[in-house]
Amino acid sequence: MTQTKRITSFHPPRRTLLGPGPSDMNPRVMTALAQPAIGYLDPAFVTMMEELKELMRYAYQTTNPLTFPMSGPGSVGMEACFVNLVEPGDKVIVCRNGVFGGRMLENVERCGGVPVVLEETWGEPVDPNKLEALLKANPDTKIVAFVHAETSTGAQSDAQALCDLARQHGALTIVDCVTSLGGTPVLLDAWQADATYSGSQKCLSCTPGLSPVSFSERVIAKVKARTKGKVQSWFMDLNLVLAYWGETARTYHHTAPGNSLYALHEALLLLKEEGLENAWERHRRNHEALKAGLEAMGLSYLVKPEARLPQLNSVYIPAGVDDLAVRKSLLLDYNIEIGAGLGPLAGKIWRFGLMGYSSRQENVLLVLSALSAVLGEMGYKHEAGAAEAAAHHAIAAQHVAAAKVKR
Ligand SMILES: *Cc1c(COP(=O)(O)O)cnc(C)c1O
């Protein structure tokens, strides 16, 4: 026997997750995860699955019967949309204004689709005029794919406008709602979106590894009418997944991640209890308070005000400040995780997430105070306490406004 370090139980440090996901889990969600395992065809489990689909339809604001969680992270939901919908030779317009649009493009290529890329500057929302021009130039377009909330930049695109244009030109839509679901309005039926996917660990604040998806009747028709052979992925083929998640004939497809599904059920129930509108409003209020504080520290936003995501705040790193040293100190000295910039924005921005259960007033004050201390130590000139004061001021103004509404 070789001598190795004695391994003991793993106890993760307690962090406050204020990055681009995962977000902090509500204690009720953690309790759900710790419940006993039962079989994936146990009648009690099946009842829970039906409730889960109903809660998911509420979160997505849809009546789509085909709304369920894929077993796998948001990336699996994304891939499921592409492998089922894109047949070899299908022309797909991919809107790329950040990292995740780039991944959509990868998916189209791997499915043998013919991509047409709408390039947008990172930090900008997708311009509907550019989409209209591309649709006119490519009348044989079958699908339009875009990211509603681009987590790599913090920009939100106008999903209603983009879906409307696609439909007017006879194209189906694939919409990434990973970061928007639960944080900002996602209105599938109003948008008439076709294939949508999300993730469990962003504004739903559940454990990572589940991807809520929803498909319109038009998607089912297209999948049924496929002419170029079977869906290339066995695991993600909707025809097969539905043997387990569909309305009838529940049979084994793969072993469902039971405890994670209990947790998603609880996370969605928390969202329903709070009310979607209240959750959106909470994300907006906490964003306003954070913004007031960051700006009081002299930091400025990447995204223009009208396209900013309240749950993902991207700000420029001030000149002369060491990106990595700041994030390391926040993590190790203050137990706060924030996000780094990706791709062309690496080293240029920080991303402050206020997602789901992490979107709380005390977290806003905590991160502002910690960031101010770290920046101060690193010689960045700003008035100590100004950020916290600005956030307090913004919160007080919100209280006054809320009281006026009540009266
Ligand atoms: C996080 C994210 C994904 C990928 O989700 P995973 O759970 O990490 O696979 C896809 N799209 C967007 C916009 C995201 O923010």
In a domain, 19, yes or no: no
**Parallel/antiparallel/unpaired status of strands 149-150 and 155-156:** antiparallel
Length of the chain: 407
| Predicted pLDDT of residue 249 | 66
CATH number of domain containing 39 = 3.40.640.10
Predicted confidence (pLDDT) at residue 248 exceeds the cutoff of 80: no
Report how far ligand 1's centroid is from the alpha carbon of 389 (Å).
34
Q: Is 100 in the pocket of ligand 1 (CB under 6 A)?
A: yes
- Write out the two tokens for 318: 């001030």
The answer to whether residues 83 and 232 belong to one domain is yes
Dump pLDDT digits (tens) for 165-214.
999 999 999 999 999 999 999 999 999 999 999 999 999 999 999 999 99
Judge if 253 and 316 occupy the same domain.
no
Task: Please compute the mean of the pLDDT values over residues 210-230 and round it to a whole number.
Answer: 94
- Of 272, 301, 328, the residue at which a domain comes to its end is 272
Q: Say if residue 301 is in the same domain as residue 369.
A: yes
Same domain, yes or no: 119 and 96:
yes
Answer yes or no: is 285 within a domain.
yes
Assess contact for 205 and 199: CB atoms under 8 A: no
Q: Is residue 5 part of a domain?
A: no
Taking residues 34-53, report their average pLDDT: 96
Bridge partners of 353, per DSSP, are 312
- The residue whose CA has the least distance to atom 2 of ligand 1 is 178
Q: Which ligand 1 atom sits nearest the alpha carbon of residue 73? A: 7
Q: pLDDT of 277-314, one tens digit each?
A: 999 999 999 999 999 999 999 999 999 999 999 999 99
Q: How far apart are CA 208 and CA 153, in angstroms?
A: 21
The alpha carbon of 185 is separated from its chain's Cα centroid by a whole number of angstroms, namely: 12
Residue 16 lies in a domain: no
CA dist 23 and 207 (Å) reads 9
Domain finish residue from 272, 298, 317? 272
Q: Evaluate if residue 407 carries a pLDDT over 90.
A: no
Q: Over pLDDT 90: what percentage of the chain?
A: 93
Q: Are residues 195 and 302 in the same domain?
A: no
Are residues 23 and 183 in contact, defined by beta-carbon separation less than 8 angstroms?
no
Of 272, 295, 320, which residue constitutes the final position of a domain?
272
**CATH assignment at residue 379:** 3.90.1150.10
Nearest CA owner, ligand 1 atom 5: 74
Instruction: Flag whether pLDDT at 247 surpasses 90.
Output: no
User: How many angstroms is it from 113 CA to the middle of ligand 1?
Assistant: 22
61-69 mean pLDDT: 97
Alpha carbon of 234 to ligand 1 centroid (Å)? 22
Q: Is 30 a domain residue?
A: no
Q: What are the φ and ψ backbone dihedral angles of 188, each rounded to 5 degrees?
A: -55, -45
pTM of the model as a whole: 0.97
pLDDT at position 1 over 70: no
Does the Cβ of 339 fall within 6 Å of ligand 1?
A: no
Residue 209 and residue 242 in one domain: yes
Alpha carbons 200 and 260: distance in angstroms, whole number: 9
Residues 260 and 337 in one domain: no
User: Considering the domain boundaries, does residue 369 fall inside one?
Assistant: yes
pLDDT at 401 over 80: yes
* 247 and 320 part of one domain: no
Give the number of the atom of ligand 1 that is nearest the alpha carbon of residue 78.
10
Task: Calculate helix-pair angle for 276-296, 361-377, nearest 10 degrees.
Answer: 20
Q: Are residues 52 and 140 in the same domain?
A: yes
- Mean pLDDT score of the chain, rounded to an integer? 96
Coil, strand, or helix at residue 26? coil
Own/partner pairs, 393-396, CB within 8 angstroms, 24+ separation: 393/292, 394/288, 394/289, 394/291, 394/292, 394/293, 395/285, 395/289, 395/361
- Are 53 and 192 a contacting pair, CB within 8 Å? no
Beta strands of 97-228 (E only): which ranges?
Answer: 114-119, 141-147, 149-150, 155-156, 172-176, 195-197, 210-215
Residue 319 and residue 243 share a domain: no
Burial of 109 (0-12, 13-18, 19+ CB in 10 A): middle
308 labeled part of a ligand binding site: no
151 Cβ below 6 A of ligand 1: yes
Is 307 found in the same domain as 158? no
- Quick check: 27 pLDDT over 70? yes
Q: Directed axis angle between helix 276-296 and helix 386-406, to 10°?
A: 150
Overall number of domains in the chain: 2
Range of the domain at 255: 35-272
Residue 27 lies in a domain: no
Calpha distance 90→373 (Å, rounded):
54
Question: What tens digit of pLDDT does each residue of 311-352 get?
Answer: 999 999 999 999 999 999 999 999 999 999 999 999 999 999
Lowest mean pLDDT among 150-154, 189-193, 245-249: 245-249
What is the rounded CA–CA span in Å between residue 79 and residue 103?
9
CA distances 375 to 21, 103, 330, 379, Å, are 24, 34, 10, 6
Q: Rounded to the nearest whole angstrom, what is the distance from the C-alpha of residue 63 to the centroid of ligand 1? A: 24
181 and 206 fall within a common domain: yes
Say if 157 falls within a structural domain: yes
Report the chain's C-alpha Rg in angstroms.
22
Q: State residue 4's pLDDT score.
A: 81
For the record, the structure tokens of 350 come out as: 């920080």
Q: How far is CA 390 from the centre of its chain?
A: 28
